[in-house]
Amino acid sequence: MSEKIYLSEVMMPNQTNPNGNVHGGELMKMMDSTAYAAARKYSRSNVVTARVDELEFHTPILIGDLVTCTAEVIYVGHTSMEVAVNVEVEVLEAEQGPQHALSAYFTMVALDRNGRPMAVPPLKLETGEAKAAFEAGRKRHELYHERKKQRLEAAKNAGKKS
């Protein structure tokens, strides 16, 4: 796994609805920014977000809460990196400490100066946990390619019928 990147922010009134709930888009932006920093630092290149997997908001996050995003590159393909982003929320007036709020995998692609995908360095896997996370990322990467192939074939077949 790569070096972890952290981004913390106290949620302010301009980030919430009138009842004080933080907008999902605010959290998604923080998550994307953290994933971006982790991927950019890892690849030392410009990167763009190609994909975000499922996002489910289980925990309400309210005005005044401290939100911390943690991002880590856990899988690399040829030009893409999968970044695991974890979000914790802490009610600063309470004693219970940070609670897990949500997590997601971001696929980021490294681009060269001409905006074309470029190769990224191989990921050093030093622990069993890192190897398992890499393997799970590899499976998600393969699934993406399988589904893309199926979509292309379906489109081709639909074209033949018309």
Ligand X SMILES: CC(C)(COP(=O)(O)OP(=O)(O)OC[C@H]1O[C@@H](n2cnc3c(N)ncnc32)[C@H](O)[C@@H]1OP(=O)(O)O)[C@@H](O)C(=O)NCCC(=O)NCCS
Q: Which stretch binds ligand X (CB under 6 A): 45-53, 57-65, 95-103, 126-134?
A: 45-53
Taken in order 93, 15, 83, 2, is the CA torsion positive or negative? negative
Which one of residues 48, 132, 143, 154 is an interface residue with ligand X (CB under 6 A)?
Answer: 48
46-52/80-90 β-pairing: unpaired
Tokens of 57: 């908001």
What residues contact residue 161 under an 8 Å CB cut-off, 6+ apart?
none
Q: Is the Cβ of residue 10 or residue 152 nearer to ligand X in the bound state?
A: 152
Cα 45 to Cα 129: distance, rounded to the nearest angstrom: 27
Using rule CB under 6 A, residue 43 touches ligand X: no
Q: Select from 111, 103, 20 the least CA-distant residue to 69.
A: 103
Please report how close the Cβ of residue 107 comes to ligand X at its closest, in angstroms.
Answer: 4
Q: Which stretch binds ligand X (CB under 6 A): 13-21, 42-50, 57-65, 86-94?
A: 42-50
Q: Which stretch binds ligand X (CB under 6 A): 10-18, 22-30, 46-54, 131-139?
A: 46-54
Which one of residues 28, 50, 66, 118 is an interface residue with ligand X (CB under 6 A)?
Answer: 50
Q: Is the Cβ of residue 48 or residue 132 nearer to ligand X in the bound state?
A: 48
For 105, the 3-state DSSP assignment is: strand
Using rule CB under 6 A, residue 79 touches ligand X: yes
Cα 82 to Cα 61: distance, rounded to the nearest angstrom: 26
Residue ranges that bind ligand X, judged by CB under 6 A? 48-51, 77-80, 107, 109, 117, 144
